[in-house]
Structure 1
Amino acid sequence: MTGSARPHALTVGRRQLLLAGGALGLGAAAAGFSPSRAWAQPRFQSDPFALGVASGDPWPDGAVLWTKIAPDPLAVDGLGGMPPRKVQVGWEVATDERFHKVVRRGGTFAVPELGHSVHVEVNGLEPAREYFYRFRVHGEFSPVGRTRTAPPPWARLRELNFAAVSCQAWFEGFYTAYRHLAEEDLAVVFHLGDYIYENPIDANGGVRKTPVAPELRPEPYDLTQYRLRHALHRYDPDIIAAHQAHPFVLVWDDHEIDDNWVGDIPKAGNTPDQDPAVWGRRKTAAFQAYYEYLPLRRPNKPSGTQAQLYRRLGYGRLADFHVLDTRQYRADQACGDRTSDCADRLLPGRTVLGPEQEAWLYEGLGTSRARWNIIPQQIPVTQVDTVPGPGRAFVMDFWDGYKPARDRLFDELVRRNVSNPVVLTGDMHRHMAADLTLDFDDPGSRTVGVEFVATSISTKMDGEDLDQGGRNLLDANEHIKFTSYQRGYLRCSLTEDACRADFRVLPYVTRPGAPVSTRTSFVTENGRPGLQSA
């Protein structure tokens, strides 16, 4: 959809990963799940792997491998050009791109009940090494994907490179940032939410000036519509390239369903959702489509309106990643979800994570033996006063709307003597770096960690380096050291001594082809919480 070429026809990626000769078949976690009959002799009018391949959630002996059989990803019935029959798929993992040294192979079914998506959990691999994988269906081959396993728990790493991304409204910009991300040398990418946007789309596809079929334009409510919305966001050569090049760890925020939804509570004012039955069906559909289109493990597979996405990944003795879901278990936004400084945001017991996830996080932080404790999550933890000068105003959807929850988190960081906490955040559509202090209103308060916020991939279009909103944030919040309203992503490098964050930016996304550069970099040192300019 980007430019004039069809996404699956392009060959892009670090070290020529997307060579056309690669074979990538479909591995399905749903083998034995489907009552549908097998399609014994499938024939496709176009590339059955048009949406590419992906890997996710690396562990020391493997990863999950994903693909989706969809020769016509934008078919308006949401079925991707497939009949209601299961298809047998083969998969291979090798240590080389040409598959001379295949170390694992197998087969499974892509079933219509899961949109012919495939989630193969491969194990038995060696830790801390690069692998290549591919799928095959009836003689047709996918592109070759690259993944990398995590190191064993006892390993001492010299360096770990990773990235954080978020917020990619297809109709508000091109995915050029993903093209550059595909070329980075990274072990893993954390997607912090808003993989799709549910907003209505105009007939010309927003800034992309690409005609969009009427069936793809409305705000989604059912499974067909959510499948189409994912297909639209996913059917792009740049995002396909990024998924082929790196394993992703993904968690949702709000736009995967509805802006600012909370648990069983839809966005205020969205009339159809006020019927609990309608909202339940919508959540069920959105959750299933999210799983179908992304490289998630079996434990992340939803059951109706429930799905567990919070989880922990370890990278040797260097880092533990505590991935949070700040959307599904929280209390409703205070103060009618209006930007303000109302007293309700201070009520004891307010929670962002819910009791079970909160206890899980504290236990994991307290028992971690890693040098760095990284917390990928969705919404700003730091205090974000939006009004300079007298008076204050906070966004109720941020942790500011749940101050007791933030206080509990910071108290636990101190009480458990957590080693080097670093929060990774999305949602804001701006880059930001901030110190996390026990009392943001006291300039002398103790700093307990740092927060790096990754700007959007495309949401809010081009933006600018320092907009008025950014100036207000810097004026009103002494602990916020940097912000930029340009599009891009966050690149991080960990050593035993320091965590470095490079804020990568693009000058424009409303047309393709933008270059990427590092706007600025910050470092936080081992045992010295707080930001320093790199």
Structure 2
Amino acid sequence: MNRRDLLKLAAFSALAQSLPRSAFGLTLPGNAIGNLFSLGVASGSPRHDSVVIWTRLMADETGALGSKPIPVSWEVADDEQFRRIVQKGSTHAHAELGHSVHVEVPELAPDRWYFYRFRSGQYTSRVGRTRTLPAPGAAVTGMRLAYASCQRWEHGYYAAWRHLQAEAVDAVFFVGDYIYEYSRGKNDIRSHDLPKPTDLASYRDRYALYKSDPDLQGAHAACPWLMTWDDHEVINDYAGLSNPVAETDFAARRAAAYQAFYENQPMRARTLTRALTGLADGAEMRIYDRGSFGTLADFHILDCRQYRSPQACLDPDKRGAHTIRRDACSELADPARTFLGMEQERWLADGLKAAGTKPRWTLIVQTTRFGQTLYGSTKNPGVSNDTWDGYPATRQRLINALIQNRSPNPVLLGGDVHANWVGHIKADYNKPDSPSIGVEFTGTSISSNSNGGDNIPNHIKQNPHFVFGDGFKRGYGVVELEPDRLTTTLRAVVDPTRADSGIETLARFEVEAGKALIHPR
């Protein structure tokens, strides 16, 4: 199936339609044994009047679903017992889309919790819980949000997701590295026998592995997710169509990985539309997005991989990104290099300008640590060429846009580095006395191994705009937004090698509205 037909199929399947009753007389493949909904359910991309509900049909190891469309019905209700059904309909799960189901449920009330489920043949899915966002312009007294990233299967269990279900958050911002493309390693906590994914089938298998985890399924079923990706959804350290590992057709691999991401996440069908107008090979998929929580906050979700320039000053003897000497790399100063792509940069600047000072908070949801982080020698320090430090011109353009548009109370959320970092956003990181214009919270991993935390105290001394760092603990962050303050709590599992691990509070911080200053609590 070509990309244009794939888009049409996705768009048609996402409609809240009703199939004729005769369609449900179709017999499921006789060898589709076990619960078809073993990968769970999810919801995402919420708006004030709609939400996407998702599932993906999966046969067990002895069965197959075949190539014919499989009818699936769905219901959305006010109550968990489905006595008050507010929307229902039906669609097909198509083999061309990995037997995934994406229903964009319209005409919902704003700022409301709902319950949903799917049926196919004799099978019924678990019940999921989702919610709509507050209406634009509505006065909102508070929102409770989580941010998380980096959940390598082999490195630990998903106890963090089990505990997040008890946090009663309104939504989860997932900021990248949902899957990892590696094969198993030497010191894995739990292992698998899947090969490294290189095509659509193998990326589908990797998602099926991750989504088989009951704690991850529970977190998806608890509330809507708003998502972006980083590099491991395709391959480590890729940048645009630049790949650190030589391949004959990386564009085709990336296109397969992007399609698998769509198939396995609660995304709107329109995320595929750029495949028609972007790259000639159809590998592009538009995932950056924005929305609002009434007058309380605007949020902008960024794509920091698909459009970026290749990393600066790559060492041909090293595979992937690495630390470079800032003063020895003239590429860093090139204003034409971009972390987001110039089109996305303009989209973000336009969104900040249009919002003006109306929202109380400005959330920018992206994938990695934002603040300048110098390493080693004070005379010729090193920086990572894979974070915002490798793209200082883009970072400064974003800072300038926040200042020029007087964006209220900027807050950046990130992940990627497998460590917690909390800091102030400076108007100019090269001028230590420049004012703070916002704050950032970069989260640790759900399960992926730490990169080491012994040197973090020294890094903070060298980069005093950071006020906290920890590279040992794994978990997630919870952000409580109120009109007059923001409170962020860093939650950490006690032992990521145990599925039954407990959880603890690592640290808590407060930011008063109108003052870009972090206070430990």
TM-score by length of 1: 0.87
Is 1:506 the counterpart of 2:493? The answer is yes
User: 2:9 maps to which residue?
Assistant: none
Distance 2:250 2:354 in 1: 38
Structure 2 alignment gaps of length 5 or more: 1-11, 18-22, 276-281, 315-320
Decide whether the 8 Å contact of 2:16 with 2:89 is kept in 1.
no
The change in CA–CA distance for 1:71 and 1:28 in structure 2 (over 3 A counts) is farther
Q: Partner of 2:405 in structure 1?
A: 416
Q: Could you tell me which residue of structure 1 aligns to residue 505 of structure 2?
A: 518
- Structure 1 residue 291: deviation in Å? 0.6
The answer to whether 1:290 aligns with 2:261 is yes
One-letter code of the match for 2:487? R
In structure 2, the CA distance between the partners of 1:479 and 1:300, relative to structure 1 (3 Å rule), is same
- Name the counterpart of 1:18: none
State the aligned residue count: 484
Give yes or no for the alignment of 1:320 onto 2:308. Answer: no
Provide the C-alpha distance between the structure 2 equivalents of 1:83 and 1:241, rounded to a whole number of angstroms: 28
Which of residues 338, 359, 367 in structure 2 aligns to 1:370? 359
Indicate which of 134, 139, 150 corresponds to 1:151: 134
**How many Å separate the matches in 2 of 1:437 and 1:284?**
37
1: CA distance, partners of 2:493 / 2:16: 43
TM-score, scaled relative to structure 2: 0.89
Q: Determine the C-alpha separation between the residues in 2 that align with 1:139 and 1:437.
A: 58
How far apart are residue 205 of structure 1 and its match?
Answer: 9.1
State the secondary structure of the residue aligned to 1:513: coil
One-letter code of the match for 1:311? D
Segments of 5+ residues of structure 1 without an aligned counterpart are: 1-26
Match of residue 20 from structure 2: none
Q: Which runs of structure 2 are paired with 1:395-406 in the superposition (5 Å)?
A: 395-406=384-395
In the TM superposition, 1:319-338 aligns within 5 A as 319-336=297-314, 337-338=321-322
Q: Paired residue for 1:468, among 427, 445, 454?
A: 454
Distance 1:65 1:205 in 2: 37
Q: CA deviation at 1:518?
A: 1.3
The alignment partner of 1:92 has SS state of strand
Give the letter aligned to residue 360 of structure 1: W
Deviations for 1:173-212, whole angstroms, at most 9, x for unmatched residues? 111100011111111101000000011225x99211x5x3
Cα distance change on mapping 1:472 and 1:205 into 2, 3 Å: closer
Worse overlay, 86-95 or 299-308: 299-308
Match of 2:100 in 1: 117
- 3-state SS of 1:407 partner: helix
Greater than 2 Å deviation, 4+ residue runs: 27-32, 301-304, 386-391, 439-443
For residues 353-395 of structure 1, the C-alpha deviation after alignment (integer angstroms, 9 at most, x for no partner) is 1111111101111221211110000122110113265541100
Question: Given residue 207 of structure 1, which amino acid in structure 2 is its aligned partner?
Answer: I
Match of 2:72 among 89, 106, 110: 89
Q: Deviations over 1:154-180 (max 9, x none)?
A: 111111000001001001111110001
Cα deviations across residues 220-268 of structure 1 (Å, max 9, x unaligned)? Answer: 111111111111111100100000001001111100001111111112x
Q: Which of 310, 335, 339 is the matching residue for 2:323?
A: 339
* Number of the residue aligned with 2:416: 427
Deviates more, 1:298-307 or 1:103-112: 298-307
Alpha-carbon distance, 1:219 to partner: 1.6
- 2:184 & 2:65 partners in 1: Cα distance? 25
1:28 CA displacement: 4.1
Residue of structure 1 aligned with 2:50, choices 50, 62, 72: 62
Post-superposition shift, 1:31? 9.6
Q: Deviation of residue 149 (structure 1)?
A: 0.6
The match for 2:5 is: none
- 1:348 matched residue in structure 2: 335
Which residue of structure 1 aligns with residue 183 of structure 2? 200
Q: 1: CA distance between counterparts of 2:403 and 2:291?
A: 22
> In structure 2, which of residues 138, 148, 152 is the aligned counterpart of residue 169 of structure 1?
152
User: Partner of 1:132 in structure 2?
Assistant: 115
Does the 8 A contact of 1:388 with 1:473 survive in 2?
no
Q: Which amino acid aligns with 2:260?
A: A
- Residues 52 and 268 in structure 2, CA contact (< 8 A), matched pair in contact too: yes
Is 1:479 the equivalent of 2:457? no
How big is the shift at 1:473?
A: 1.9
Q: Secondary structure at the match of 1:229?
A: helix
- Structure 1 residue 299 corresponds to structure 2 residue 270: yes
- Percentage of matched positions with identical amino acids: 39
Q: Give 1:314 deviation, angstroms.
A: 1.1
Provide the C-alpha distance between the structure 2 equivalents of 1:483 and 1:60, rounded to a whole number of angstroms: 36
